[in-house]
Structures are given as structure tokens and as C-alpha cells.
Structure 1
Amino acid sequence: MSELVTGEAVALELRPAKLPSRALAVLLDLVVIGLVYTVVTLVLVISTASMDEAAQVALSIAAFILVLVGAPIAVETLSHGRSLGKMACGLRVVRDDGGPIRFRHALVRGAVGVVEVLMTFGVVACIASLVSARGRRLGDVVAGTLVVRERVPVGRTAFVPPPPPWLSGRFAELDLSGVPDGLWLAVRQYLTRMRQLDPQVGWAMAERLAADVAARTGTPAPPDVPPTAYLAAVVQERQVREARRAFGSVAATSVPGGPAAPRSFGATAAQWPAAVPHPPAGGPYPAVAEAAGPVPVVEAAPQDHAGDRRPSGGFAPPA
């Protein structure tokens, strides 16, 4: 595990990629780059046959730099840290704080990678990864990045609690396209560990994350929804949309608490606020209690004692 320390000094867990998976991703990337370079070289040889030798050498060097250095940098920048090999192995390059990388991060990683991966055949990169506590090569150390695992085996995934059923489907019209992957990662890590946090720290962190998500969506968070419940509902809405895009509308109903889930406030939802951080003062989640509505009072049935038998209907037996 690797620890991501938030502004509230709360450590969130990341899963650094191990050396075998990283080596396999690099190997796949090199195979793809080699095929592309071969095709580009053949095209240059055919198209520059009438040029002099100096021009051919200059174009060959330019193609080598663009394909072997520029192309990986462009791919990692546009895909936010996922090259073809990393996507195949379920890996991603992120910043030290868990956010998505930018062009300068990819540029530094690519420039240093030319020396430690291409020129030394990966020997320097392997030694640096083995020595580093988080498996980082020199390019990651200089750029301030980390390669993490995106796909985790099902049995080892952390449980993200679903929101109360009365929030299911409430944010179906919310625009989530502007929320970056780094913020989604922070929200998921918070939801999986919120029961381990100090109540005041957890509440403050939930408010900050909810404000960040609301700012990225362009819609303020509802004032009657607690920040933790708001985050859980937004994450659930994102899962429903991803399932719908991947498998169609039918698969979205299989997401726990999705659109097909009942919206009544049952016993499980009534217990949900007690398991999450409470506000520093006042009762826990008054808005949730109000949404639940008053509890109906059920009158007890009259007791049937041996000496005092009451008739069940309007008929009175003769004495």
C-alpha cells in the first residue's frame, strides 16, 4: 500500500503497481512503438528515395525521436496516464497526490525514460523500482508521479457503501463530465475508510470533497443532503452511467441501489447515518431523519385474558 495524505492529514491508500506488471506494460508499449516505427520508416524510405543522403538521415532521426519519445508522451498526456500497455495491464500513472498527470509530468517521465529504459535496456529502471518503497523508477521520482493499479481483484476491492435509498436517482441529471479522475479517486477512498476516521475530521473532509464535486459539476450540493450521503449518491450515479454505457440500460439495474432499487426509507437506510461520521455538533443527519418521515404508531391488539374475553366482532354471545 501507498499512503496519500490529504489536507486534513488523513492517509488514503493507493495500490502501487508491482515490477512484473509494469515490465509487461512497458514491453507491450515497446512492441506497439516498434510496429509504428517500422511502418513510419518504410513510408519515409519510399517517399524520400529521391532526396540526398543527408536529408534522409535527418528525417530518420526526427522520426525516431517523434515515435519513440514524442508519441508515448502524447499518449500519456491525452489519456491521463494510461498508455496502451498500461490499459491492458490495468495500470495508470498518477501524481503523488493521486491526481491525473499533465503534460509536464509525461514530458519528464519520457525524457528520463529514454536514458533509464531505452539506453540501458531497462536495467536502471528495474533497479530503481526494486529499491524504491513504492516501486518508482527515476522518471517517477523526478516527475513526482506514481504508477498505481486501476483494476483490483474482486475479492480485494474495498466496499463503497451505497447511499440511502431515498437518494437513488436524485442526481440523474447531474453533469459529471467535469469531475477529474483524481477527485473520484479521493471520494472513493474516503467512502471506503470513513468509518475509520475521527468524526470531526471525517465530517470536515466530506464537506470539502462535496464542495469540490459540486464545483466541478456546476450545480451546488442540496442543503438538505448530508455531504457523506451526497458523495455516496454521486458515486452511485457514476457507476450506473458507466454500467449503462458498457452493457446497456438493463445492466444499470444491477448496480446496488440503482434506479431499480426501492426509494422507501427502510430499516437499512435508517441505520445508515449511524455508521458514518457525524457533524461536530448537533444530532446526526437531521435532514435524513426528516426525510424518513414520522414513524407510524401501531396500537397493540387487546389482550385476551381468561377472565376478560372481548369479542372479536360485533356479535355478543348470550350469557
Structure 2
Amino acid sequence: MTANARSATAPYRGYAAQEAVTGEGVAIELPVANLGSRLVSGLIDVVTYGLTCWGLIVLVGSLTEHSSDAVQRTAVIVVLVGVLVGVPAATEAVTRGRTLGKLVMGLRVVRDDGGPVSSRHTLTRALVGWPEIYLTTGTAAVIAALSSSRVKRLGDQAAGTYVVSERSRLDLSPPPQMPSELADWASRADIAPLDPGLAAALRQFIPRAETFAPAAREAHGRQLLGRVLVSVAPAPPPGHHPETVLRAVAAERYRRDLVRIARDQRVRDAVLPREP
């Protein structure tokens, strides 16, 4: 998931209270809303839309009481589709992923990459939500959410979205710091993107190295260094501890990714209107 970086050295922020980009340009995932909060949010929305439908159907019935049955049935269908599909889709598009229920529970719909949803995403969620929520009384949505690591209902899976909690706070480890003795080498080295599995292992090892037993720490550090150096040229100057080299590589990747993200954002700002 990504969010817009405002400068090459600024914190990487998104919808979450805190967010950071790793050395491989991968953002920490936003806090996923739990099933309980989603159920309460959905119940609030269903009750709201149900009362709205009831009121409009009564109004339409009074306006078309002298019309044919076909006209009355058509009017009812228009009301149902408009309220149960059109209203949630338009509301989420305008509010960047919120409905009344989500606003009450502090939730928001985002794309799978963490960005704000568009009308295409919200319309897809609403269209799938019609049979998923109303025709199955929410059973299909609950089953799909329980089987998903991100608590995604079928509409989320079809639209490529999920729901995050804006009231959760992520306590993230600080970005890797560049060892001063390797700063010059790292700035000139060609450091290719690391394999996702290796990048994840590196991110987990560096902040937790002190918790390892000394022998395991040394062995794991040297194993990671051997895998990392395949993607680095030229090799680091001899005589440095493996962890020092690993920190230098991670810190330089982090710095370069922030620069790249800021450059991409400047290009987007130049050709596209800034999002509110």
C-alpha cells in the first residue's frame, strides 16, 4: 500500500496514524478493520437504507396510486436500486470510502494498495453487495470475510478493496540508519531491488538482531549478507561487520525509494489535479 510522500525526507504517511516505507519501497499495511466493527457498521447502513427505502416507497406509492401496477412496480424497483446501490456507491466515492456506518465506527474503504477508492471501486462494491448482503441477509458477506485475512467481503474481492480502521495506531520501528563509515560506498553502489522474501527477512532481522542468541545472530547475519551481496555492486569495503553492511544497504534502499516516490509525486502533481 502506498501513500503520497511530500518530500524525499518526510515521513511516509497515509490513512493510518503512522505509516512507513521499508527499504524496498513496501509500505507497512494499514490496520485492517475487524469483523465486529464491520458488522456494526453494516448494520447501521442497512437500517439507514431500509428506513430511507420505506419512506420513499410510501411517497412513491402515494404519487402513483392512480397509475397502473407496472408503473408502481417500476417505481419501487427504481427506489430500491437507487437507495441500495446508488446511494452507497455515491457516498463512498464522494467521502473517499466512508458511509454513515463507517463514519460512526471509524472505518474507511481503501484500495488494496492503500490508496483512496474511486467511483469504479465503490460501484463494484455496491453492485456485488446487492445479492451478497440483501439477498443472502449478509450470510455470504460474513462467510467471505471470515475466510479472508483482510476481512474482505465478496464486494471487496471483486473491487480490489478492503476496509481499514482509522482509529488504530501502528507503532512502527524507525527507518534504518546509515552507518557513517559506509555512507560513501552505499551512495555510489548499485543496489538492485531485493527478492520480496529476502527483503522481508532483512526488515525483520535488523530491528530484532539484539534479541538473537550471539551464535544465531552471527550465523543469520552472515547468511543474509551473502544473499544481499548478490544484488550489490561493487562489494562493500572489507573489514565491516555483516550487520553494519546490512544496515547500510537497507538505509540506502530506503533513501532511494523516498527520492523516487517524491519524484513520482511531483510528476503526478504536474499532470493531475491534487486530490482534496
Q: CA deviation at 1:212?
A: 4.2
- The residue aligned with 2:122 is 106
**Which ranges of 4 or more aligned residues in structure 1 deviate by more than 3 Å?**
3-9, 156-161, 212-218
Alpha-carbon separation, structure 2, partners of 1:23 and 1:9: 33
Q: CA deviation at 1:217?
A: 5.7
Alpha-carbon separation, structure 2, partners of 1:6 and 1:124: 36
Q: CA deviation at 1:44?
A: 0.7
Q: CA deviation at 1:159?
A: 8.7
Runs of 5+ consecutive residues of structure 1 not aligned to the other structure: 162-194, 219-319
- The residue aligned with 2:71 is 55
Q: Any residues of structure 2 matched to 1:239-318 within 5 Å, and which? A: none
Alpha-carbon separation, structure 1, partners of 2:267 and 2:99: 29
Amino acid of the structure 1 residue aligned with 2:262: A
Alpha-carbon separation, structure 2, partners of 1:215 and 1:34: 45
For normalisation by structure 2, the TM-score amounts to: 0.59
**Any conservation in 2 of the 1:4–1:14 contact (CA below 8 Å)?**
no
Q: CA deviation at 1:10?
A: 2.6
* Larger relative contact order (CA 8 Å, sep ≥ 6): 2
SS in 1 for 2:151: coil
- The residue aligned with 1:68 is 84
Alpha-carbon separation, structure 2, partners of 1:157 and 1:7: 17
Could you report, residue by residue, the CA deviation over 1:131-152 in whole angstroms, capped at 9, with x for unpaired residues? 1111111111121111111122
Runs of 5+ consecutive residues of structure 2 not aligned to the other structure: 1-18, 176-205, 208-246, 271-276
Is 1:209 aligned with 2:261?
Answer: yes
2:103 corresponds, among 87, 91, 94, to 87
SS in 2 for 1:14: coil
SS in 1 for 2:87: helix
Alignment root-mean-square deviation, CA: 3.0
**Any conservation in 2 of the 1:37–1:64 contact (CA below 8 Å)?**
yes
Give the direction of change, closer, same or farther, for the CA distance of 1:55–1:202 in structure 2 (3 Å limit). same
Give the direction of change, closer, same or farther, for the CA distance of 1:205–1:5 in structure 2 (3 Å limit). closer
Q: How many corresponding residue pairs?
A: 182
- The residue aligned with 1:279 is none
Is 1:138 aligned with 2:138?
Answer: no
Amino acid of the structure 2 residue aligned with 1:84: L
- The residue aligned with 1:35 is 51
Amino acid of the structure 2 residue aligned with 1:122: G
Alpha-carbon separation, structure 2, partners of 1:82 and 1:200: 37
**Bigger CA radius of gyration:** 1
Amino acid of the structure 2 residue aligned with 1:121: T
Q: CA deviation at 1:89?
A: 0.7
SS in 1 for 2:258: helix
Give the direction of change, closer, same or farther, for the CA distance of 1:4–1:128 in structure 2 (3 Å limit). farther
For normalisation by structure 1, the TM-score amounts to: 0.51
- The residue aligned with 2:188 is none
Is 1:151 aligned with 2:167?
Answer: yes
Could you report, residue by residue, the CA deviation over 1:17-50 in whole angstroms, capped at 9, with x for unpaired residues? 1100000110011111112112211221222122
**Any conservation in 2 of the 1:116–1:138 contact (CA below 8 Å)?**
yes
Amino acid of the structure 2 residue aligned with 1:201: R
